[in-house]
Structure 1
């Protein structure tokens, strides 16, 4: 995006996605921001520019999407497998959104689309090619920055962890000793029922006695932290305890 939009991005870094709500509120209240009456305020000057407001609408939209993916990666039961799949789904959409934008379709960015429709109805002009080009470029940059979060190759080799009863058993090498355990496990209907009823981690944990080799491999995939959610939640609880102690 342009330099002024880069400033907005700086103040709404991806690791603090909740701040993206600020962009949404600023866009929604842009006509009634009280201090905008001060003509010397730089924000007033920006809000008077059509290209800046269009960029603001896009940033509000894209951060809404980022907030959604961020929330889906949080929670005590989210594993790297879950996070990888959800991020893969998000990344798969970005090229589609980019192609739509390049063809003038902004359906995936409702605030920007509404702004463009209002502009079209009022003066018959659509969004500028500059904004269209900047949005397309930013989507491409966003995809590149997200692609290094997880290693899809290592997870794809262990797809049996996610779907032990559906995976093609022949896709596992005959040299891999876990293949024996998988064949044996897949023959037991009661385990299929348990797999459907239990959380992925609980299911594999319950088999530690029966299939130690299989479980060890599965846990090496499931145990590593997918995000910093648990750490942040722990610090939040600790701060709450310390605050109560201090007040008491």
Structure 2
């Protein structure tokens, strides 16, 4: 660090960082609260950038005590701009999360487009006993036992409890996980979270997407069979699954390569199905 002004600037900036760090940790902090904290911090960074660009250093008490040159101000503005972009990209999943108003206050005017959810929320809003519990905050309200037992919504022909619907809305749980949770709740058995499985599933999703991109890059031809025009695109006959697997692993990066433990046989897998553009699958994807 060559100059005192840089040290004072970073001192003020890291003071702001520490304030955010003290707010974020904690098991009781949900994603809605984290979004509020991060959004407020980004708003402060934007305000700091605007003010310091105009020569206003009220948000930088240490820097304001130094003789700050115009070149220094330009450098700090660029740094704050880069910081804003980095935070916006790093926490994009939280910052862009859409939170339905009824999650924060289920007793406000209901403007839910889903008629089924609207009906269930209307029934919930008339329950005076539950309304008393809402005074303890929305988080404790949705976690109470009366919610999953009493209130359910229909989705894809299945009953899903409204607390699960809330969980899905906040955490964007995949459909397969949703069905597992619903089944566990209905059977009365506990929900077991296997930490190792989460990481492996995430890796498999990345592999699956990489394989899909690889297959999409291949050139195929339309089917010559059938009276109606097929939507499927077929690969050439020599591009069997084993050949495709070898070709994919040759171009894939190390962490996206896949194992192929059970090559299909003619008797077990129809070649036309496995060579189809839409149906090509590798064992571990």
Fold shared per TM-score above 0.5:
yes
Q: Deviations over 1:96-141 (max 9, x none)?
A: 211110111111111112x23xxxxxxxxx4101111111111111
Instruction: Output the TM-score relative to the length of structure 2.
Output: 0.51
- Pairwise CA distance, 1:153: 7.4
How many residue pairs match? The answer is: 162
- Residues 16-55 of structure 1 mapped to structure 2, 5 A cutoff: 46=2, 52-55=3-6
Residue in 1 that maps onto 2:282: none
RMSD: 2.4
Residue in 1 that maps onto 2:163: 215
Matched, 1:132 2:73: yes
Instruction: Output the TM-score relative to the length of structure 1.
Output: 0.59
- Pairwise CA distance, 1:216: 0.6
CA distance 1:154–1:164, change in 2 (3 Å): farther
- Pairwise CA distance, 1:88: 0.8
- Residues 171-190 of structure 1 mapped to structure 2, 5 A cutoff: 172-173=112-113, 175-190=114-129
CA distance 1:134–1:153, change in 2 (3 Å): closer
Instruction: Confirm or deny: 8 A CA contact 1:204 1:219 kept in the other structure.
Output: no
Instruction: Confirm or deny: 8 A CA contact 1:195 1:203 kept in the other structure.
Output: yes
Q: Deviations over 1:57-112 (max 9, x none)?
A: 11111111111112111111101111011111111222221111011111111111
Shift >4 Å, 4+ stretches: 221-224
Q: Deviations over 1:140-199 (max 9, x none)?
A: 111111113043676324332222223x412x21x352221111112233323211214x
Unaligned runs of at least 5 residues, structure 2:
153-160, 173-194, 196-285
Residue in 1 that maps onto 2:105: 163
Q: Which has a greater percent of strand?
A: 2
Higher relative contact order (CA 8 A, sep 6+): 1
Q: Deviations over 1:191-216 (max 9, x none)?
A: 23211214x43321211111243211
Instruction: Confirm or deny: 8 A CA contact 2:35 2:95 kept in the other structure.
Output: no
Q: Deviations over 1:35-71 (max 9, x none)?
A: xxxxxxxxxxx4xxxxx21111111111111111121
Unaligned runs of at least 5 residues, structure 1:
5-45, 47-51, 117-125, 225-230, 232-248
Residue in 2 that maps onto 1:246: none
| Larger Rg over CA atoms | 2
Residue in 2 that maps onto 1:67: 18
